[in-house]
Amino acid sequence: MPDRAKDRRTERFDAADEAAAEVARRLDGRHALVLTDFDGTLAELVPMPGDAKVSEHVRGALDSLAALPHLTLGVVSGRLRQDVVRRVGPAAEYAAGLHGLEISGPSVRFRHQALNEVEPIIARIAADAARRLAWCPGCFLENKHCALTCHVRLTPSELAEQALEEFEAIAEPYLEARVLRLLTGSKAMELLPAVDWHKGRAVDWIRARVAARLDRPVSVLYLGDDRTDEDAFTGLRDDDFAIGVGDRPHTHMIDARLEGPPAVGQFFSSLETLRRD
């Protein structure tokens, strides 16, 4: 059972290497399972999801971390699993997509059955939304087949709310029937299968596989910048470590905060150096 203290104190480390030193101290020889979100954590947030890139610095740090024998690396994202794999490369031994609804790792695969069930529904809503939101400048749909995101980051702010309201109205029957659920972001809304499965469940699933494979306990180090990452933070245990990235809330659930992807890269570089000692 999750035993994370509700009022865990957040330490804001000014330097990424201080945070890394604290993590190294806390892990103290245990196997580290480093699980990280992608957008806003490994890669800078960009208006078009297709443009998101991992910088050379972050990629180098990820590759060095992945080479450590006492550490396993994975990415947990709202993107499709294969999109995560393509953008991060082989450094990520585990890749979870669609907020954990699909996961792959060494000789293991998970795909929530609800994904197949909602595919025809998402296709209908996507077609409907494309027609009904055609009036809105800058609004675009990201169709992940088992999930659908309506982005309004490029829409004039006075129209954005109206567009999102219309998107929600199209999905309303499926939301009421609890077939789909709605995730609201700052400039986007996403429809997903309404199942009790999220990034926190994905973390548990991956932790269990890694612990079984190594036959030893595993401490999780989780990094994320978004509301969906709070599901992962909430499920962490006392010997895990939570890092919030950027300025989003979740203050009571994290141990440390880093400013953005460049600081995450710096943190990974410091962690790699420390763990070699």
Which is nearer to Mg ion, 37 or 190 (by Cβ)?
37
The span of 10-18, 36-44, 169-177, 250-258 binding Mg ion (CB under 5 A) equals 36-44
Q: Establish if 40 lies at the interface with Mg ion (CB under 5 A).
A: yes
**Residues in binding contact with Mg ion, number by CB under 5 A:** 5
In whole angstroms, the minimum distance from the beta carbon of 218 to Mg ion comes to 23
Q: What residues form DSSP beta bridges with 218?
A: 31
SS3 (DSSP) at 256 = strand
Which is nearer to Mg ion, 15 or 46 (by Cβ)?
46
Which tokens in the block code for residue 165? 């309201």
Contact 88, 123 (CB under 8 A): no
In whole angstroms, the minimum distance from the beta carbon of 232 to Mg ion comes to 11
Q: Return the percent helix, strand and coil in the chain, to nearest 5.
A: 45, 20, 35
Which is nearer to Mg ion, 79 or 275 (by Cβ)?
79
Q: Report the distance separating Cα 65 and Cα 133, nearest Å.
A: 44
Contact 149, 190 (CB under 8 A): yes
Q: Establish if 255 lies at the interface with Mg ion (CB under 5 A).
A: no
Q: Establish if 231 lies at the interface with Mg ion (CB under 5 A).
A: no
Q: Establish if 39 lies at the interface with Mg ion (CB under 5 A).
A: yes
Which is nearer to Mg ion, 40 or 193 (by Cβ)?
40
Q: Which amino acid is at 145?
A: H
Q: Establish if 230 lies at the interface with Mg ion (CB under 5 A).
A: no
Q: Report the distance separating Cα 258 and Cα 225, nearest Å.
A: 9
Which tokens in the block code for residue 213? 């494979």
In whole angstroms, the minimum distance from the beta carbon of 221 to Mg ion comes to 16
Contact 263, 271 (CB under 8 A): no
Which is nearer to Mg ion, 84 or 218 (by Cβ)?
84
Q: Establish if 225 lies at the interface with Mg ion (CB under 5 A).
A: yes
Q: What residues form DSSP beta bridges with 32?
A: 71, 219
In whole angstroms, the minimum distance from the beta carbon of 135 to Mg ion comes to 29
Q: Establish if 97 lies at the interface with Mg ion (CB under 5 A).
A: no
| Contact residues for Mg ion, defined by CB under 5 A | 37, 39-40, 225-226
